[in-house]
C-alpha cells in the first residue's frame, strides 16, 4: 500500500467500520490536468440512489465520528445488501434465469487511489466488503465467479443461500410466463406479474478533509443470462473516484452506462468545471447519443432508465436521470432526505 495507509490500519476492527480513523492521509495535491478550482475546505456529504436513504444516514453518522470515507460508504450499502426485502441488492436479490443469485460490486478509495471489484459472486451476502478486500489484499482490481467466491471464503466470509422465498416466488412466476408455447403452466389471469426489474445501490462520500470514496453493489438485472456482469463492478462505469475532483456512480441499464464509461465521464465533466448535477446531465446526453435505435422510442428518447449521482471535493452534490420522477438520497451534513433528480425528458405514462 502507498502512503501512510497499511492493510492493518485500513481493516482495523473485524467489521472494518473504524478502519479509516487511523489513516492520517495528507490532503491531495493539485492535479497536473485541467481541473476546477476547489474552494478551501469541504463538508461531510453522502449521496446515493433512492434506496440509499438509510445508507447515507449511516455513512453521515460515521463520517462525523472520523471514520474513513470508504468504510462509511460500505457500511451504508451493507444495509441494503443484508436486507431481504430489497430484491435488487445482496441477500434477497432476484436471480438469473436459472434461479441463481449472482452479485456484483466495486469500490474506490480516493486518498490511496486504489480500487477493488467482484463480479458474478455467488453465496456471499456482502460483495461490497469482498470488493474492499480485493482492494486491500491483492495487486488486482477485479475477481469474478468461482475465483471471487474462493477468495472471499479464504478471508472468513460465510457461504449462505441468497435466494429468499420471496425472490424465489417472483422468479417462478416469471419462469412460468416466459412464452405461451413453452412447457411451463402460465400464471393465472389476473395474477400480477413483476416487470423485469433492475436495481442497484451506489453511494459517493466526501468528508471535511476532502477525502472521497465511492461504492456500488447490485444483484444485477433480474433473469439475466448466467455470468452476465453489468456496470456496477466496472471501475469508471458503476462508480469512479478522483480524490482531486469528486466521485460519481450509477443505477439503471448497465449496458448503456458501460459504453460511455459514465461514472468516469461524470467526474471528468466536473473536472472541466461543471456542477455535479450538470455533469450528470451531460453524461446522460452522451448516453442518448450512443444508444442504438432499437432502444429509442418514436421521439428519439431511450426506453430504459439510467441515473447518475455525484459529489465533488467541496461537498457539492447532485443527481440526474433520463426521465422525470426519479429521486436520490443525500446526507447533507445535517440530515438524510430524498430529493428529485434533474432529468432530460418528461415522463409520459
For the chain, give the number of residues: 349
Residue 333, by phi and psi: left (phi above 0), alpha (psi -120 to 50) or beta? Answer: left
Where are any strands of DSSP class E within the chain?
A: 45-49, 103-109, 114-121, 142-144, 201-206, 212-218, 239-242, 246-252, 306-312, 317-323, 327-331, 336-340, 342-345
- From 200, 266, 277, 283, active-site residue: 200
Contacts by 30-35, CB closer than 8 A, 24 or more apart: 30/244, 31/242, 31/244, 31/245, 31/271, 33/271, 34/271, 34/272, 35/244, 35/245, 35/271
Residue 279 and residue 248 in contact, taking contact as beta carbons nearer than 8 Å: yes
Please give the C-alpha separations between residue 243 and each of 35, 130, 195, 202, 295, in angstroms, as whole numbers: 12, 22, 39, 17, 35
Contacts of 293 by beta carbon, 8 Å cutoff, 6+ apart: none
Residue 259 neighbours by CB distance under 10 Å: 15
Question: Please, what's the largest Cα pairwise distance for the chain?
Answer: 65
Pure H helices in 155-275: 165-176, 254-258, 262-271
C-alpha cell at 238: 458503476
Residue 89 near residue 167, CB atoms below 8 Å: no
Q: Is 200 a catalytic residue?
A: yes
Distant-in-sequence, close-in-space partners of 268: CB < 8 Å, separation ≥ 6:
none
Q: What's the grid cell of residue 335? A: 440530515
The DSSP letter of residue 197 is -
Residues labelled as active-site residues: 200
Amino acid at each position: 500500500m502507498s502512503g501512510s495507509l497499511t492493510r492493518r490500519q485500513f481493516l482495523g476492527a473485524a467489521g472494518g467500520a473504524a478502519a479509516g480513523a487511523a489513516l492520517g492521509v495528507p490532503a491531495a495535491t493539485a492535479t497536473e490536468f485541467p481541473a476546477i478550482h476547489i474552494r478551501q475546505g469541504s463538508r461531510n456529504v453522502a449521496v446515493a440512489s433512492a434506496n440509499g436513504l438509510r445508507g447515507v444516514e449511516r455513512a453521515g453518522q460515521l463520517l462525523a465520528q472520523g471514520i474513513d470515507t470508504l468504510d462509511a460508504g460500505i457500511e451504508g450499502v451493507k444495509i441494503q445488501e443484508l436486507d431481504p426485502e430489497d430484491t435488487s441488492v445482496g441477500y434477497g436479490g432476484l436471480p438469473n434465469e436459472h434461479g441463481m443469485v449472482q452479485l456484483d460490486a466495486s469500490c474506490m478509495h480516493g486518498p490511496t487511489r486504489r480500487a477493488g471489484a467482484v463480479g458474478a459472486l455467488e453465496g456471499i451476502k456482502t460483495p461490497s466488503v469482498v470488493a474492499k478486500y480485493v482492494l486491500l489484499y491483492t495487486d488486482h482490481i477485479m475477481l469474478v465467479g468461482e475465483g471471487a467466491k474462493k477468495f472471499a471464503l479464504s478471508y472468513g466470509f460465510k457461504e449462505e443461500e441468497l435466494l429468499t422465498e420471496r425472490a424465489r416466488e417472483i422468479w417462478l412466476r416469471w419462469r412460468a410466463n416466459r412464452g405461451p408455447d413453452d412447457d411451463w403452466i402460465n400464471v393465472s389471469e389476473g395474477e400480477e406479474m413483476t416487470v423485469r426489474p433492475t436495481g442497484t445501490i451506489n453511494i459517493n462520500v466526501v468528508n471535511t478533509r476532502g477525502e472521497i470514496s465511492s461504492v456500488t453493489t447490485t444483484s444485477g438485472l433480474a433473469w439475466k443470462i448466467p455470468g452476465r456482469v453489468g456496470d456496477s463492478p466496472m471501475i469508471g462505469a458503476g462508480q469512479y473516484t478522483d480524490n482531486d475532483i469528486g466521485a460519481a456512480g450509477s443505477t439503471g441499464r448497465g449496458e448503456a452506462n458501460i459504453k460511455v464509461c459514465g461514472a468516469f465521464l461524470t467526474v471528468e465533466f466536473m473536472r472541466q468545471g461543471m456542477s455535479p448535477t450538470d455533469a450528470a446531465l451531460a453524461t446522460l446526453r452522451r448516453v442518448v447519443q450512443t444508444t442504438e435505435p432499437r432502444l429509442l422510442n418514436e421521439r428519439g428518447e431511450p426506453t430504459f432508465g439510467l441515473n447518475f449521482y455525484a459529489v465533488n471535493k467541496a461537498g457539492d452534490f447532485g443527481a440526474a436521470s433520463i426521465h422525470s420522477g426519479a429521486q436520490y438520497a443525500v446526507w447533507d451534513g445535517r440530515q438524510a432526505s430524498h430529493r428529485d433528480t434533474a432529468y432530460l425528458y418528461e415522463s409520459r405514462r
